[in-house]
Structure 1
């Protein structure tokens, strides 16, 4: 029995590993394709800069420099938007200075020029090579199904230039496709990270500006935390005032009435006491509800994984939960993660029209990553009062990161990253 359990656990581990590798490879391919698009824009901006620089040597390119710098800024802005969608927060720089001398001295402009030089060459090459790998793998893997349509002397696809005389030779080409597929899985994520490196390094704020931006961000985060705290206090006050307090007042009134009726009509006093007991039980239930809203006891009893499985079981939409968090995080982190998932699943059930939802929680080093995805109609917008703004404020108050992706037609994905210590 123990050997069977070990074998089943090993098989599940292998399936999870393969599933993760496929997901990582697909994400990397998506990154590379998106990076290829911005690399083409960077290459065009680089060509424009080169032409303007050559024109300046003969004295006719100076008036065109502001337009070239605007083209560089446009390419950099597209890369900032792309990287921001994948979780890298890159703030927008100030406008390009109007004066030519001021623009050339601006550290933002100089860093963006360096970015188009690197991303327009190295990033473009990585994007083309990264896209060619899966295409070559597909061509080689499918070659046994169409090789008979080609003349034998033409060879196979890609680097296969020898004569193909039959199915055995075509199967050898297919094995080469398996090799290309393995190379894609192994190198794809590394190439995607390398392609994004110039944008992450050069499009980030200059060192002397980064500190001031961080101070402004922390100031805004502190204000958001205070606002969220005030909203939570008002909610608790309303819950106590409208619920438990009214029940306790009713208990006091009923106990007074029972005391007065005790000497005159003991039977009526017993009925009033029964009503007082019911009111006290309702007040106790109200207080328990308020306490659960402050810190859910299920987190202490069952941990984050058990609490999230409980939320999924009570969701109106079929929901799967995958939690890979070794050990326990800080109570504040687990509470934030719990309320984020609770609010997100409430939105899924009420507004999305989804048929399925999935919650994934993983801990990587000192960061806790949460992903809530549904296959609904999409188009979610935090400005329309769906509770998403409250999720963002709660996450940012914890100095975390919040990303919402919800194109019309779906799917909708909420990605949250919370610091949880080492």
Structure 2
């Protein structure tokens, strides 16, 4: 491509961006106005419930009102975060309970105790007081400017050759030309100022919606406590599984070996029966016991994982799938054994769910590493083309994946709309 062609292409891209920026800003500010109108309703509900709480009746609705306010703030966090290009974390210490409308007064008490209620109310007021007028101005200014810009084309057709502009009455061509210039100036101000206004508004609301330093510290402490509790639960569940496998499988095989050897001893002492047959059965039972012990050991830490690493071990899992599956790996990096183990068993569980429940005809496992704020993270995504509808709350498999990953400070995101596809995304810090 020539330099002139590259320059023309770059200029067209800049023109497209310059057109999109005011349009995106207009969408954001109009959305802010609509959000402000909804926030006004939320504020009215909160004030009404607070007033009724004085006589005790409102306490029954405190949880619903608190949940309504938090959901409004969470939606605004998502919208403002998308505008600013960064995620705004939730400051709530009890996010799961906070969104449950029937959780009762405890939700409202947590809302007050964690210090987020005044900031949430301030965010709603900001949207009502600032967002609604800004949205109205952003929508009306270009319309009024276009009207002023168009007046020179038709003012002379009005009765008596005169018409009213927004600021003065048009009675001559010079005044009509001035009206057109005012319209052009209004459109210029609108296109230049709108992105700056959008950015300032989003940053102001971010300051109200983002957690404070103290809230971040409390959230971190709560997450660490939950992480330790989850790790203990996962470890306990793993110990119970191993104990169950040893009791139900290996122990039964060893009991069978003992019985067959005892039978052979009695046959030798009495000189009756076929001793060779009893010893052969004892040998078969011992082989089965050894095979069962190997299976249990592999369930604790697979040999392929210890000998070859995470990627080859996942490759073996994919190769054993009953449906066509493939493994894609991008920019592999070293990971600790705890992360390897968590990902291996989580992917194994996800693939088992695909094979048993999804009715999929193909499956894809994608493994990648990325650096986020100086921290290396490994991301694993298992995607199938099945019928979808998977819900972590209804399946112990997905819940187990979540517990295993979250115990190491990771996150699990399940996307499974009805009709598919289903995607299980697991993200873990490599320093776990």
Q: Partners in 1 of 2:368 and 2:25 — Cα distance?
A: 26
Cα distance, 1:205–1:259 mapped onto 2, change above 3 Å: same
Partner of 1:412: 422
Cα distance, 1:320–1:359 mapped onto 2, change above 3 Å: same
Partner of 1:308: 314
Over alpha carbons, which structure has the higher Rg? 2
Q: How does 1:320-399 map to 2 (within 5 A)?
A: 320-365=326-371, 366-399=376-409
1:218-256 superposed Cα distances (whole Å, 9 cap, x missing partner):
222222222221111111111101111111122122222
Q: Partners in 1 of 2:366 and 2:130 — Cα distance?
A: 35
Q: Partners in 2 of 1:284 and 1:122 — Cα distance?
A: 74
Partner of 2:255: 249
Q: How does 1:44-55 map to 2 (within 5 A)?
A: 44-45=34-35
Q: Partners in 1 of 2:381 and 2:324 — Cα distance?
A: 16
Partner of 2:197: none
User: RMSD of the TM alignment (CA)?
Assistant: 4.5
| Residue aligned with 1:387, SS | helix
C-alpha displacement at 1:120, in angstroms?
Answer: 9.7
Q: Partners in 1 of 2:133 and 2:318 — Cα distance?
A: 47
Q: Runs of 5+ in structure 1 lacking a partner?
A: 1-32, 53-61, 124-193
1:282 correspondence with 2:279: no
Q: Structure 2-normalised TM-score? A: 0.59
1:216 correspondence with 2:222: yes
C-alpha displacement at 1:284, in angstroms?
Answer: 0.4
Partner of 2:74: 77
Q: Partners in 1 of 2:24 and 2:239 — Cα distance?
A: 44
Cα distance, 1:209–1:384 mapped onto 2, change above 3 Å: same
Q: Partners in 2 of 1:220 and 1:98 — Cα distance?
A: 19
Q: Structure 1-normalised TM-score? A: 0.60
Q: 1:398, 1:418 within 8 Å by CA — same for their partners in 2? A: yes
Q: Runs of 5+ in structure 2 lacking a partner?
A: 1-22, 49-64, 99-106, 136-199
Count, aligned residues: 306
Q: How does 1:171-210 map to 2 (within 5 A)?
A: 203-210=209-216
C-alpha displacement at 1:377, in angstroms?
Answer: 1.1
Q: 1:347, 1:387 within 8 Å by CA — same for their partners in 2? A: yes
Q: 2:78, 2:87 within 8 Å by CA — same for their partners in 1? A: no
C-alpha displacement at 1:303, in angstroms?
Answer: 1.5
1:108-146 superposed Cα distances (whole Å, 9 cap, x missing partner):
4446767999999999xxxxxxxxxxxxxxxxxxxxxxx
Q: Partners in 2 of 1:282 and 1:87 — Cα distance?
A: 54
Picking from 278, 288, 292, the partner of 1:272 is: 278
C-alpha displacement at 1:44, in angstroms?
Answer: 2.9
Q: Partners in 2 of 1:221 and 1:349 — Cα distance?
A: 30
